[in-house]
Chain A
Amino acid sequence: MSDNIPQDLKYTKEHEWARITGKTIVVGVTAHAQESLGDVVYVELPKLGATITEGKNFGVIESTKAVSDLFAPISGTVVKVNDELTGNPSLINSDPYGQGWIVEVEPSDASQVGKLLDAAAYEPLTK
């Protein structure tokens, strides 16, 4: 198992991760995603209080090379936004599972978590 796929997180096929912390879920993009994107230079974040929908676009991440959509792992309300990314989007490259987190969401349907991939199921998607 790669060190770049933490065991305690859940994943999407689109390379987002979800950390379940009590009643909320923190969302970011995986090490594999940031590696593929290259240098991240801009992140378009949702507004605090915005509603996001599982599988739908909730933001945009831009690298020196490409523009990529961010897809919501679950539906819910955005309760925190990582404003640090506005001034320092490279945190996504340097610490994708830590300081490079993107939003914290209060799920509207916690059962959607069950549809997310675990580390073992996600790993083949990084090959």
Chain B
Amino acid sequence: MTRRTPLNEAHRKLGARMVDFVGWDMPVQYSSVIAEHEAVRTAVGLFDVSHMGEIEFSGPGALETVNRLISNDLARCQDGQAVYAGLLNDLGGFVDDVVAYRFSPERILICVNSSNREKDFAWMKARAEGVTPVDRGDEYAQIAVQGPKAVGLVQRLTKADLSKVGTYRFTEGEVAGVKSIISRTGYTGEDGFELYCASDDAVKLWDALLEAGQPDGVKPCGLGARDSLRTEMKYALYGNDIDDAHTALEAGLGWIVKLDKAGGFIGKDALVAQKAAGVPRKLVGFELTGAGIPRHGYPILKDGVRVGEVTSGTQGPTVKKPIGMGYVPTALATEGSTFDVEIRGRAVPAVVVKTPFLKKS
């Protein structure tokens, strides 16, 4: 059965076009993907991301337990800090990519992808030693407020001093009278917050943000804009750009892998070995220099031979170019390397470029 977030009815009232997204009935767009994308780049947009999962570890030993499960190092963080990390398999590939929130060494909340909620929970439960994880996914709703006017909008609705909440930091407080975790994180490349609240409060928070954001030109935004925004930043999407068969090093996410952390983590040995042997392929960002739009699954060719595959691609609404990502042999991964993308039987030239595609001034 298709699952619905607490905001489902609100989306329908706003005229959203709804689609099935990994078993969830979600808005893909309200007005236009490009208009929503632009609203986030220039003003502020709201996303319902309540389909994401939340798994909590609490009690003595929570920090140590989580730190053995994730690739990044929460022990180096302060309370009130969040980290982007991988849950890796024994081969160094991704079970999922997650954000872990450190409330204290005895309370950690992990936000996981909606498509992986059940899988992640079972995986964590089987491997957690000392502390048993609890699935809080149905208790939380999550609204992402993203864009240059996002901080001002949220600040008008809360007494919490958001100037003290830096990037990848969070605080707890009321937003529009709704008890929330206010996290300065996002998936768009813009400043903003991800607000976690009780599912029952989601409509109140959503409506308050929409109303208070009117002078800012706030727009509700769907999954379509979320995808084009994250692609312009070369942010990985699980199932497209990262999966269980490509390692964190191949995905260019070595920065979320702390090979030297105390206690190690699942997947570390494989990554150490791959680092020593050399990474055979890499996820690159490219622009098409010929006409067309790269899409997930299109072959990447070098001299007519298939050497890889496009993992994500779009016509970037802000960069105004056809852009994409894909895995290629390491020899082709340097900036300026050229290859072709096969689009409907046509070899369209492409060049590897520096990412993110969107250069912020």
Listed in ascending order, the chain A residues whose CB lies under 8 Å from chain B are 38-39, 41-42, 44, 60, 62, 64-65, 67, 86, 90, 93
Residue B33 is within 8 A (CB to CB) of chain A in the complex? yes
In contact, B32 and A39 (Cβ under 8 angstroms): yes
In contact, A62 and B293 (Cβ under 8 angstroms): yes
In contact, B292 and A64 (Cβ under 8 angstroms): no
With the chains together, A90 CA to B228 CA distance in Å?
17
Residue B34 is within 8 A (CB to CB) of chain A in the complex? yes
In contact, B315 and A64 (Cβ under 8 angstroms): yes
Q: Which of B17, B224, B291, B344 contacts A64 (CB 8 A)?
A: B224
Residue B312 is within 8 A (CB to CB) of chain A in the complex? no
Contacts of A39 in B (CB 8 A): 32-34
Contacts of A86 in B (CB 8 A): 291
In contact, A64 and B295 (Cβ under 8 angstroms): no
Count of A-B residue pairs with CB < 8 Å: 38
Cβ contacts B261-301/A at 8 Å (1 or 0 each): 00000000000000000000000000000011101000000
With the chains together, A36 CA to B31 CA distance in Å?
12
With the chains together, A39 CA to B295 CA distance in Å?
16
With the chains together, A28 CA to B35 CA distance in Å?
24
Within 8 A of A (CB), among B27-46: 28-29, 32-34
Report the minimal beta-carbon distance from A84 to chain B, rounded to whole angstroms: 15
Question: Interface majority SS on B: helix, strand, loop or mixed?
Answer: mixed
Residue B314 is within 8 A (CB to CB) of chain A in the complex? yes
Contacts of A67 in B (CB 8 A): 293, 295
With the chains together, A60 CA to B28 CA distance in Å?
22
Q: Which of B29, B292, B315, B344 contacts A38 (CB 8 A)?
A: B29
Within 8 A of A (CB), among B302-323: 314-315, 317, 322
Contacts of B317 in A (CB 8 A): 64
Contacts of B292 in A (CB 8 A): 42, 44
Contacts of B293 in A (CB 8 A): 41-42, 62, 67
Offer 14 A-B interface pairs, CB within 8 angstroms, sorted by A. A38-B29, A38-B224, A39-B33, A39-B34, A41-B293, A41-B314, A41-B315, A42-B315, A64-B315, A64-B317, A65-B33, A65-B224, A67-B293, A93-B32
With the chains together, A62 CA to B295 CA distance in Å?
11
Contacts of A90 in B (CB 8 A): 34
Contacts of A60 in B (CB 8 A): 344
Nearest opposing residue in chain A for B295, CB measure: A67
Report the minimal beta-carbon distance from B340 to chain A, rounded to whole angstroms: 16
Nearest opposing residue in chain A for B34, CB measure: A39
Contacts of A41 in B (CB 8 A): 34, 293, 314-315
